[in-house]
Amino acid sequence: MKSLVIAFQFMTRIPLPAVSANTHDAGAAMRWFPVTGAVIGAVVWGAAFAGQSVEPLLAALLGVAAWAAITGSLHLDGLADVADAAGASHKDPTRLSAVMADPHVGSFGVVAITMQLVAKLILLSLIAERGGLWVLPAICCAARIGPLAWALLLPPLHKGMGTMFAAATGWHHLAIWSVLAAAMAWYLPSLVVAIPAIGAWALWCRSRLGGISGDSHGAGIEIVETTLLLAWVAMS
């Protein structure tokens, strides 16, 4: 269970006791990312539900705030880094690694974060208006199946977190979560959109970045989440 605790410590800001862990334990935490997603979605659902009876837009605002708070804006940071790298390396691909390693956020990153927050605000407002906030745990869970697929399909851009995840994750882990996602999709058909969304992000990372990293894992989670929110709104 060490890897489960580590997964929550890495993916959320939920206070948990420190655990001693080796490299394998840290890498194996990825297997539990979908579980952390379900909990994150439940927290967002609770925050949004608190404002739903007042105004759907208030529900959305509370939901987005809770989303950023419980994740520590971890994935938004990855989205910003990837946006900056993709923008800055448009004419000079050699700058990609340097820009992704830069802790500062550039104009592309600011725009990406702003657009992502606005998109989630609007989509959550529509979902709250239609009484669909209950879908959030499933959406956040499905989005975090993506890192398992990306770790298996794409080479790590550098040694570190990506290498640990790839070494401790197998196809059987992805298969188990895929079966569970298929079961959820029986009751929530819009979840099937996760398949092309996860695949499209893998293709983009391979063509533009050459592989996967912690930042592109986080960016992918954000993009898949928003895609699934949009899919539910479009299909409801």
Encoded amino acid at 177, one letter: W
> pTM for this one?
0.92
Q: What is the pLDDT along the chain (236 residues), one digit of tens a residue?
A: 788 999 999 899 998 887 776 677 777 889 999 999 999 999 999 999 999 889 999 999 999 999 999 999 989 999 998 988 887 665 555 566 655 665 667 788 899 999 999 999 999 999 999 999 999 999 999 999 999 999 999 998 876 666 677 777 889 999 999 999 999 999 999 999 999 999 999 999 998 888 888 889 999 999 999 999 999 999 98
